[in-house]
Structure 1
Amino acid sequence: MASLINLKDFNDLSVVNNLLSECMCSDEERVNAEITTYLEDNSRGLYGRFLNDELVGLIGVIHGSIGEVELKHISIKQDYRGKGIGRRMIHEYVQAKNIVKMKAETDKDAVGFYNKLGFTIMSLGEKYPGVERFECIFLL
């Protein structure tokens, strides 16, 4: 993965924390716990995209069986959204790791993103009060 950097080795976790908090919509304690899980759990991967030495995007994954992965988090810095960075990160990861199946769960706001990438979308219904969730699956 030439362009994606393994964030488990990245020194400035505050930058990672800020970007991850944008997609988690959670308090600082929960975001810190999630970063700790990524750092300590070998079944998880956390990768970032840098432009001009600035972390502009990240993806967090949970490795399943061989060739399968769950996309747990994806976040692009506000100023860089809509420029194809998320799409490129996913495609790079899929190619580099020989992924044949990727799944993700999301809300109504991000369904269009996954649909444009060729994911199959299925409603999970109202998983939380007033919040419809969707399962997105990409098969190669």
Structure 2
Amino acid sequence: MLTEAETLTPELETLLARAMFPDPGRIGRTLEEYRSDPERHVFAWVVDGRPVSAAGLRQHGEAVEVLHLGTSAGEEGRGHARALLRALAAHLNATPLVAETDDNAVGFYRRAGFEVTPAPPQGGRPRYRCTLTPS
């Protein structure tokens, strides 16, 4: 079930941090941006009353960008993140829902139904722009 977080709980922080560069200072700054920036929102996929996947978004006008997507250890590979993204696209009526990713996650976005195109490399590494248009 899709829910929008009214507050950033420690459980949600942990899920989002799983999708961030593992630098405690950087994670802290990014989480603070989710608390203070009105364009940033956090949504969770809840199973049996607890969040198992969380998405951090930036919504600017009609455009919605997935900035972070994390799933609980032990819950990965069960379709929670894919269900969360599809529910978000439908709920937000986002045209399009976009994410930028690397080689590690591009396959996930393809399997989730996103159209994938090359994006400018960062740090000498390939990047991909992933786009999901709700049906």
Letter in 2 for 1:137: T
Q: Distance in 1 between matches of 2:121 and 2:87?
A: 32
In the TM superposition, structure 1's runs of 4+ consecutive aligned residues that sit over 6 Å from their partners are none
CA contact (8 A) 1:8 1:39 kept: no
- Is the CA contact (8 Å cut-off) linking 2:4 and 2:42 kept in structure 1? yes
Report the residue type matching 1:16 in the other structure: L
Return the alpha-carbon distance in structure 2 between the equivalents of residues 135 and 76 of structure 1: 21
Q: 2:131 aligns with which of 106, 129, 137?
A: 137
- CA distance in 2 between counterparts of 1:8 and 1:30 reads 22
1:116 Cα deviation after fit: 1.5
2:22 counterpart (11, 26, 29): 26
Q: Are 1:95 and 2:93 counterparts?
A: no
The structure 2 residue matched to 1:126, chosen from 98, 121, 124, is 121
Q: How far apart are residue 125 of structure 1 and its match?
A: 4.8
Greater per-residue helix proportion: 1
Task: Return the TM-score normalized by structure 2.
Answer: 0.88
State the TM-score, normalized to the length of structure 1.
Answer: 0.85
Return 5+ residue gaps in structure 1 as ranges: none
Letter in 1 for 2:2: L
- Give % identity: 23
